Every structure is written in structure tokens, then in C-alpha cells.
Copies of this chain bind each other. A is one copy, B any other.
């Protein structure tokens, strides 16, 4: 992307729900100088990775629940 988001790592995101029991980790990349949007990447136990849309309701709830996971 040439619009200053040069090093965003999520080209596309999904809104589809992914059940927590499948998670290996949740990675949150804060808005920063190189990428102007919050990025949330869920790594599964199957080693697959999904960029999920931070504005999706279930993702918002997940981020709030993080301390209790």
C-alpha cells in the first residue's frame, strides 16, 4: 500500500468468528508510525494465522477478555 501504511502486515482481515479453544496466541500491533491501523493476528494451534478485523464485535470482546484468557 502506498498510502503511508507501508508496513501493515494484514493485507486483508476476516470478520468470521474463530473459537478461542483453537488459539495458540493473539498478537496485537498498536497503531504506529509504519502502520496506521490496529492489527490483530490470531495464531491457531494448527499454526494457521488470521488477521481479524478489530472493529468486529467478537474481536472487541476478545481484546477485553485477554487478561482472563
SS class of chain A's interface: helix, strand, loop or mixed?
mixed
Q: How many copies does the complex hold?
A: 2
**Distance to closest chain B CB from A16 (angstroms):** 19
Is the C-beta of A47 less than 8 angstroms from some C-beta in chain B? Answer: no
**Hey, which chain B residues are within 8 Å of A24, CB to CB?**
29, 32
Known contacts A54-B67, A64-B67, A67-B64; A26/B27 CB under 8 A: yes
**Interface residue ranges of A26-64 to B (CB < 8 Å):** 26-32, 38, 45, 54, 60, 63-64
Is the C-beta of A2 less than 8 angstroms from some C-beta in chain B? Answer: no
Interchain residue pairs A-B with the least CB separation, the first 6: A30-B69, A63-B67, A27-B27, A25-B29, A63-B66, A26-B28
